[in-house]
Structure 1
Amino acid sequence: MIYKSENFRNLKVASVLNRAISKVLMQDICLANSHLITISKVEVSNDIRNANVFIIISQDCTDKEAIIKELNDSSYFIRKAIFSYVDLRYIPRLYFKPDYCFDNLVRINQILESQ
């Protein structure tokens, strides 16, 4: 699912969700594999029913897919906890996905430093 959040409302909802999900992950949700998780981007669909949440997981983590699966499995509870932080009529369905931008940046830096 690729979303084009070009209108102002979608960008605003994505920004609010980004902050709210960060608060929920820091304070309310306890993950079994507790590693440093950073939300890099939230993309909201045009009808604001679905949202892709791109996360960056710390480099020392070996099983990133397990963390993504755990977040997707607990997305209902995360949506429920978001209601206490935001004033939206509807909280979109959350799909957590890994963001490989930082990993690619580190790999490019290593290649450039080795030359």
Structure 2
Amino acid sequence: MSRSRHTTKAPSQRQLRAGELIRHELAQILQREEVHDDSLFGLNVTVTEVQASPDLRNATVYVTTLGGQETDDAVRRLSVASAKIRRVLAPKLAMKFIPDLHFKRDASFDTADRIDQLLRQGR
């Protein structure tokens, strides 16, 4: 029997630990504006989750904006500056390889708001 490549396997403890470490450090870097890139100046984002790949070479970073900023624009700006962010992140992590960062919009808050609105309408 061959295994399907599309199995949904839960992340390992190692992936979860690495993701949380990266999330914590990224949040501090973005809050303190340690990345010297004009496109990131004044960007108010929250890093909600980081999912590391099994080999820890890639990490998907889910972000949402604060203060009514456009989330898609923030994701684009972060993606453009991902190499600079990675260089600032590298000395803060005790990892053999620093993962490539892939930024995505976290839609979970929008979904939660939509569900909340639907529940209020049903009353």
TM-score by length of 2: 0.79
String of CA shifts for 1:63-83, please: whole Å, max 9, x gaps: 322111110010111111112
The higher-RCO structure (CA 8 Å, 6+ apart) is 1
State the identity as a percent.
26
The separation in 1 between residues aligned to 2:10 and 2:81, in whole angstroms, is 25
Instruction: Report the Cα distance in structure 2 between the residues aligned to 1:6 and 1:16, rounded to whole angstroms.
Output: 15
Amino acid aligned to 2:81: S
Which whole-Å deviations, capped at 9, do the CAs of 1:40-84 have from their partners, x for residues lacking one? 1111111111110011223622x3221111100101111111123
> Within 2, Cα distance between the matches of 1:7 and 1:21?
21
Counterparts of 2:88 and 2:18, CA distance in 1: 16
The structure with the largest alpha-carbon Rg is 2
| Contact preservation (8 Å) 2:25, 2:89 | yes
TM-score by length of 1: 0.84
CA–CA distance in structure 1, aligned partners of residues 51 and 120 of structure 2 = 34
3-state SS of paired residue (1:43): strand
Unaligned runs of 5+ in 2: 1-5
Tell me if structure 2 keeps the 8 A contact 1:5–1:11: no
Q: Give me the CA root mean square deviation.
A: 2.1
Paired residues, number:
112
Give 5+ residue unaligned stretches, structure 1: none
